[in-house]
Structure 1
Amino acid sequence: MVRSNQYSAAEAFNWGLRSVGALQMGRALQDYRLVHASREMYGRALYHMARTLNNPALVTADTTLAAAILLGGYEMANVTGEKAWMLHSRGISHLYQLRGAQAHADGMGRTLLLSFKGFLVYEALLNGESCFLEDEEWKQIIPQMIEDETRRGKVSRLGALIDFAGYEIARCPGFVKRTRSLVAETDPSDDERESLVKSITECQNTLYEYQTEMTAGVTASRKSQETDFAGVISADLVGPLWDYSMQGVNAAIAILNQLLTVLRADRTRRTVPKVTAGQQGCQPGKSAWEVLDYSSISGAIATGRRARQAPGPQQRVDFETWFDRVSMTMGMLDETAPFINYTSG
């Protein structure tokens, strides 16, 4: 029975890989038969995944997590429904947590974390939940990751900064959730509000530091043609990686700034007469959260409406671009912020 279940884990991965490959090839060749075949392969992969998950000894295996990520990728590429990929993401999130942070500090575990962590942050934001990647144990493995790469001669200061920035970005969904809860409270304490403001401000300032260091490092590298800052990252990838990473950092800073605006407006709303609050920009009968303006983030209104309809690739042809953007911005697309507003309770 054990050998049978182990075989199912491998089969889940193999059929998942085949399904994604067949789908992409079918799209490229405009061959509907291949696309249809990919769905059958996907069904087989799901069957073997279900068998694998029924064995506690295999739930935390690398092969199991890799297969789950492939199945999530298939749903993203196939666009079968608005939130189908998010169901896979929720399950994948549980697998990461069962495995624990130390399982992802190096080797295949690190690769599996890097391949999907942007989607974990993005999905948490869309669902209005905290992301487990904000927990201290996930921050503590970053120096271990860097040490392991240094030992293997794969040093990159740019990569290290992106890892640290990614942790701060993963804290954003939690800040959104906490801000929602505080604004919804009947009588939140000043200490509670000030503690939240302090945490958000510290996170924002840390991101500003990473933003400055990444910009200065890339700029200096371009001027001197030196590779010390980028390290093992090839020259042709430095530009796109830095650009996407900066988009993620900038979007996170913008969201944190908006949360601080909400908290200040909520405090004002609770301490001054309604008519005065209205004159200061808080409309009578509406909370600070409801009147929050996200126009400071590029394309907020247009992308917000589109995101409300489908928080994923809008069309099948958008998949690769969308996938790269979520991954490389660490889960912080420009349209994330307005979508947060639309999904608030």
Structure 2
Amino acid sequence: MDEQFAPSLAYEAISIQTRESFEGWLRYYFPSVSACVDSRVQVTWMGFFRSGWSTFPPALVWAVRALTALLMGASQDNRQAILCARHMYSRGVRHLASLIQTESALTDETLAAAILLGGYEVLDGSSDRSWIIHARGICQLMRARGPSAHERGMGRTLLMCWRPYIVADAFIHGVPCFLGDSEWTCKSMTTEIARAEDEQGLGSLIGQTADYAFNEVAKCPGYLATTKQILMANSPALALTRKSLLGNLLKSKQNLVELDLMLSATKPPAGFVGVIPSRHATTLVHGSRGCIDSAIALLDRLLAALPTDSRDFANSQSLGSIIQSITMHNDQVWQFPTKKSRLEIPPSQRAGSFRYSQDANPRKYAIGDRLDRFSLTMGMGSLLPNSCGIPQLSADDAISGHFTKSSST
């Protein structure tokens, strides 16, 4: 009856319901990360949605619909809702493919749509690694937008939410992470940014310390890739590169050790917690310290692998054994407290190319806070064999494949 007599009112009611339902999606899949990020940014996801929903491009609207429908299917054991979510997702991707060919390609709305559709692929990908296709596109969009576009406003919120998956993508592909470049780290966290946050009432020493740690973590995929290059080349001619890498590894390790000391208090004082909700502060500290411990373990093993001079190449440790020891170490590090509550779209993902299995079991998506736990690892969790219970985010098999030749060499 509403649709017959007041169609615009009915549409608006559904739009509001969809928009507000996204908050439930955030709380289910990212309870701690969303709370910590929301408390420290100028524009939250829900603030972004409530202020501009009526002007959003269809790609973003369909992305939100797909994610909320997916959660409905998971929470209500509703297979039909899962199938609807897949249809909504495919529509979102088609609109995104058109959107990035327009002048709006580099807007916050376009990047938000790409990130949410990428998040959908992590949860309900048509293949184990289909989320990587979106991750590549998101990286292209971010780099095209430039570091300054992510320094404040919704741009900063988008970066803080997706950055662990950028690191994971770099580990999986065995390449440096662009967020480890100096032009990006200076936009992530510096003393100037920390001071500005404090002046705006958004300060938190815990959050700022975690951001400083991320600056070092973002360099780790590059350290790993350069170490591979040096060991596989097995050439004294790379002495300058080796010397520079050794210096950078030692500097990053020192920074991480100092940051870990800052986070070592079992119950951080209120002045250290700042604006972050106290019930999530301990979780953030635990996750950040685990991330730092994992990064230090990686740096230690890379330092052990690199020859100290040109005569030691024959005695250097193979990367295959290094990676194995890192993943074994990480499996012990990432023990989270048990919670009571549970610039181009590639051709393979364009309209009409989606191929899902017939499995639409809602229980598959009722994964609780696994994505939350992975995000707290800042991407280092991708070195775990099961990546906090999200196997498609694991770089373990990809890294093993990258370094098979290195091991045999």
TM-score grouping bracket, smaller chain normalisation: 0.7 to 0.9
Residue in structure 1 matching 2:110, options 64, 79, 83: 64
Unaligned runs of 5+ in 2: 1-53, 334-362, 385-393, 404-409
Q: Which residue in the other structure is 2:101 paired with?
A: 54
Specify which of 163, 174, 191 is matched with residue 117 of structure 1: 163
Separation of aligned partners in 2, 1:46 and 1:337:
25
- Aligned match of 2:259: 210
Closer/same/farther in 2, CA of residues 110 and 148 from structure 1, 3 Å limit: farther
Question: 8 Å contact 1:9–1:49 — kept in the other structure?
Answer: no
Cα RMSD (Å): 2.7
Conserved? CA contact 1:183–1:266, under 8 Å: no
Q: Which residue of 2 aligns with 1:245?
A: 288
Matches within 5 A, 1:152-167: 152-167=200-215
Q: By how many angstroms is 1:162 displaced?
A: 0.6
Deviation at 1:292, TM superposition (A): 3.1
Q: CA deviation at 1:8?
A: 9.7
1:1-345 map, 5 Å = 10-55=57-102, 57-141=103-187, 142-143=189-190, 144-189=192-237, 190-215=239-264, 218-219=265-266, 221=268, 226-264=269-307, 270=313, 277=315, 288-292=318-322, 294-295=324-325, 297-298=327-328, 316-317=364-365, 319-333=367-381, 334-335=383-384, 338-339=396-397, 341-345=399-403
User: Alpha carbons of 1:136 and 1:300: their partners in 2 closer, same or farther (altered >3 Å)?
Assistant: closer
Amino acid at match of 2:241: E
Q: Distance in 2 between matches of 1:8 and 1:128?
A: 39
Matches of 1:123 and 1:228, distance apart in 2: 35
How far is 1:329 from its partner?
A: 1.1
1:204-230 Cα shifts (integer Å, max 9, x gaps) = 111111111111xx3363xxxx41001
Q: How many residues align?
A: 309
Q: Deviation string for 1:175-199 (max 9, x for gaps)?
A: 0110111111142332321221111
Q: Supply the distance in 1 between the matched residues of 2:114 and 2:182 (Cα, whole angstroms).
A: 25
1:244, 1:328 within 8 Å by CA — same for their partners in 2?
yes
Name the SS for the 2:244 alignment partner. Answer: helix
In structure 2, distance between residues paired with 1:50 and 1:258:
42
- Post-superposition Cα deviations, 1:117-149, rounded to whole Å, max 9, x if no partner, equal 010001101110111101111122223542332
**Hey, what's the Cα distance between the residues in 2 that align with 1:78 and 1:293?**
28
Deviation of 1:341 after TM superposition, in Å, equals 4.3
> Distance between the aligned counterparts of 2:106 and 2:328, measured in 1?
40
Distance 1:204 1:106, change over 3 A: same
Judged with a 3 Å threshold, the aligned counterparts in structure 2 of structure 1 residues 251 and 268 are, in CA distance, closer, same or farther, namely farther
2-structure distance, mates of 1:267, 1:247: 34
Q: Which has the higher contact order (CA 8 A, sep 6+)?
A: 2
Letter in 1 for 2:123: A
Moved more, 204-213 or 334-343: 334-343
Contact preservation (8 Å) 1:230, 1:238: yes
Q: Secondary structure at the match of 2:179?
A: helix
2:71 touches 2:365 (CA, 8 Å); kept in 1? no
SS of corresponding position for 1:12: helix
TM-score of the two chains, using structure 1 as the length reference:
0.82
Structure-2 separation of matches of 1:70 and 1:91: 12
SS of match in other structure, 1:228: helix
Structure 1 pair 330–29 and aligned structure 2 pair: CA distance change class (3 A): same
Q: 1:273-301, CA deviations, whole angstroms, 9 ceiling, x for partnerless residues?
A: xxxx5xxxx7xxxx722343633654668
What is the deviation of 1:325?
2.3
Moved more, 323-332 or 13-22: 323-332
Any gaps of 5 or more consecutive residues in structure 1?
Answer: 1-6, 272-276, 304-314
Name whichever of 328-337 and 317-326 sits farther off: 317-326
Tell me the distance in 2 between the aligned counterparts of 1:86 and 1:70.
13
After superposition, the Cα gap between the structure-2 partners of 1:184 and 1:148, relative to the gap in structure 1 and judged at 3 Å, is same
The alpha-carbon deviation at position 322 of structure 1 amounts to: 3.3
Distance change in 2, residues 1:248/1:68 (3 Å): same
Cross-structure match for 1:310 = none
User: Take 1:8 and 1:106, find their aligned partners in 2: how far apart are those partners?
Assistant: 21
